[in-house]
A and B are shown apart, each in its own frame.
Chain A
Amino acid sequence: MRIKVVGSGPLAAQLSAALSDRGHEPTDSAPYEALVFAPWDPALMLPRSLAELTDSEFDLAWQQTMDAAIAACVEAREVFAGAGGAIVLTLPTTALAGGDHYAHWAAAAEGIHIFTKSLARQWGAEGIAVNALAVSPELVLADAVVAGPVSIATPAVPDADPGAVIEFLCSTDARNLAGQLLTVDGGLWM
Chain B
Amino acid sequence: MDVTQTLEGRVAIVTGAGQGVGEGIARKLASLGAHVVIAARRAETGEPVAEAIRVAGGSAECIVTDVTTRTSIAACVDLTVASRGRLDVMVHNAFAGGHASRLEETPADAWFQMSRTSAWASFWCAQLAYPHLKASDQGRLVLVTSPSGVEGSANIPLYSPAKAAQRAIAKSLAREWGPDGICVNCIAPVAETPALASAFSQVPTLRGAIEARTPLGRIGDPTDDIGGVVAFLAGPDSGYVSGQTIVCDGGSFLGL
Contact = CB atoms under 8 A, between A and B. Distances in A.
Interface of A: 49-51, 53, 55, 58, 62-63, 66, 70, 73-74, 77, 94-95, 97-104, 106-123, 148, 179
Contacts of A107: 119, 122-123, 165-166, 168-169, 172
B174 interface: yes
B171 A97 contact: yes
Contact of A73 (B103, B130, B171): B103
B152 A74 contact: no
B104 interface: yes
Contacts of B42: none
B137 interface: no
Instruction: Give the interface size bracket for B toward A.
Output: 35 or more
Interface of B: 70, 102-104, 111, 115, 119-120, 122-123, 126-127, 130-131, 149-154, 156-176, 243
Given A51-B127, A58-B120, A116 B167 contact: no
Contacts of A103: 123, 126, 168-169, 172-173, 176
Nearest to A95: B168
A57 B160 CA distance: 22
A8 B1 CA distance: 59
Contacts, number: 131
Given A63-B115, A110-B165, A50 B173 contact: yes
B103 A114 contact: no
B167 A118 contact: no
A122 B173 contact: no
Contact of B152 (A55, A101, A108, A116): A116
Task: Give chain B's interface secondary structure class.
Answer: helix
B175 A114 contact: no
A113 B160 CA distance: 10
Task: Give chain A's interface secondary structure class.
Answer: helix
A152 to B, nearest CB: 14
A51 to B, nearest CB: 6
A98 B172 contact: yes
B105 to A, nearest CB: 10
A106 B243 CA distance: 13
A113 B150 CA distance: 9
A66 B150 contact: no
Contacts of B149: 114
B242 to A, nearest CB: 10
A118 B111 CA distance: 14
A97 B244 CA distance: 11
Contact of B165 (A51, A73, A108): A108
A50 B111 contact: no
B162 A111 contact: yes
A183 to B, nearest CB: 16
Contacts of B243: 98
The residue among A98, A120, A148 with the most chain B CB atoms within 10 A of its own CB is A98
B104 A117 contact: no
